Amino acid sequence: MQSRPLGRTGLEVPILAFGASSLGAEFRSVTLDEALASVRAALDCGLTLIDTSPFYGRGMSEVLLGIALEGVPRDDYLLCTKLGRYDLAHFDFSARRVVESVDVSLHRLRTDHLDIVLCHDIEFVPLGQIVEETLPALRTVRDAGKVRFIGFSGYPQKIFRSICDRTDVDCVLSYNQYTLQNTRFATETLPWLTERGIGAMNAGPFSARLLTDAPLPAWLKEPEPVKAAAREAAALCRARGTPIAKLALQFALADPAIATTIAGSANPANVRAWARWAAEPLDEELLRDVRALFAPVRDIGHVEGLPENN
Q: pLDDT value at position 301?
A: 94
Distance CA 185, CA 67 (A): 34
Collapsing DSSP to helix, strand or coil, 83 comes out as strand
When the pLDDT of each residue in the chain is averaged and rounded to a whole number, the result is: 96
Least confident of 13-27, 51-65, 224-238: 13-27
Q: pLDDT value at position 225?
A: 97
Residues 6+ apart with CB under 8 A from 168: none
Per-residue pLDDT tens for 6-54?
A: 999 999 999 999 999 999 877 778 888 999 999 999 999 999 999 999 9
DSSP string, 94-117: -HHHHHHHHHHHHHHHT-S-EEEE
Check pLDDT > 80 for residue 307.
yes
Distance CA 39, CA 23 (A): 9
Per-residue pLDDT tens for 188-222?
A: 999 999 999 999 999 999 999 999 999 998 889 99
CA quadruple 260, 261, 267, 269: dihedral, nearest 10: -80
What kind of fold does domain 14-206+244-284 have according to CATH?
A: TIM Barrel (3.20.20)
Q: Any catalytic annotation for residue 56? A: yes
Could you tell me how far CA 34 lies from the centroid of its own chain?
21
AA letter at 227: K
Are β-strands 49-51 and 78-83 bridged in parallel, bridged antiparallel, or unpaired? parallel
Q: pLDDT value at position 25?
A: 72
Q: CB count, 10 Å around CB of 186? A: 17
Instruction: State what percent of residues in the chain have pLDDT above 90.
Output: 95
Contact, 18 vs 275, CB < 8 A?
no
Collapsing DSSP to helix, strand or coil, 303 comes out as coil
Contact, 264 vs 18, CB < 8 A?
yes
Q: CB count, 10 Å around CB of 76? A: 9
> What pTM does this model have?
0.96
Least confident of 31-35, 91-95, 150-154, 190-194: 31-35
Contact, 54 vs 104, CB < 8 A?
yes
Domain boundaries defined on the chain: 14-206+244-284
Catalytic residue of the set 56, 77, 155, 175: 56
Q: pLDDT value at position 162?
A: 97
Nearest Cα residue to 255 out of 189, 169, 162, 165: 189
Distance CA 56, CA 51 (A): 10
Mean pLDDT of the 288-300 span: 98
Are β-strands 16-19 and 49-51 bridged in parallel, bridged antiparallel, or unpaired? parallel
